[in-house]
Amino acid sequence: GSVLESDLSNGYPKEDEFAAKALRVTESVCREKRQQIVDKFPPLNRFLTGYDLKNALNEDGDRFDITRVLCGAEGSLAFITEAK
């Protein structure tokens, strides 16, 4: 498998890695469907289950947080082997 660093302050993973491709596609979908996600996502006071697509992008839309998607996936998208 490949490793995905969730701290993207140093940039994306290497282009040829599966993790980089998955990250780019996920971010792209969240950006392209942003208005639909905001309009249809139910008002919740917690995001422990399901993919937190509504909060994957910050309010300004300039920062994508893949951990919002992965943490609600209940192990169906990735295995987290180390966390800080």
Residue 18 lies in a domain: yes
**Report field, pTM of the whole predicted structure over 0.85:** no
- Domain for residue 81, yes or no? no
CA atoms within 13 A on the CB side of 36: 5
The backbone torsions φ and ψ at residue 64, rounded to the nearest 5 degrees and listed phi first, read -105, 130
Is the residue at 76 inside a domain? no
82 vs 60: which has the higher pLDDT: 60
Range of the domain at 41: 8-70
**Count of structural domains within the chain:** 1
Whole-number pLDDT of residue 5: 61
- Read off the pLDDT of residues 18-57 as tens digits, 9 standing for 90 and up: 778 888 899 999 999 999 998 988 777 766 667 888 889 9
Of residues 4 and 23, more confidently modeled: 23
Phi-psi region at 50: left, alpha or beta (left = phi > 0; alpha = psi -120 to 50):
left
Residue type, 29: V
**How open is the CA angle 33-34-39, to the nearest 5 degrees?**
100
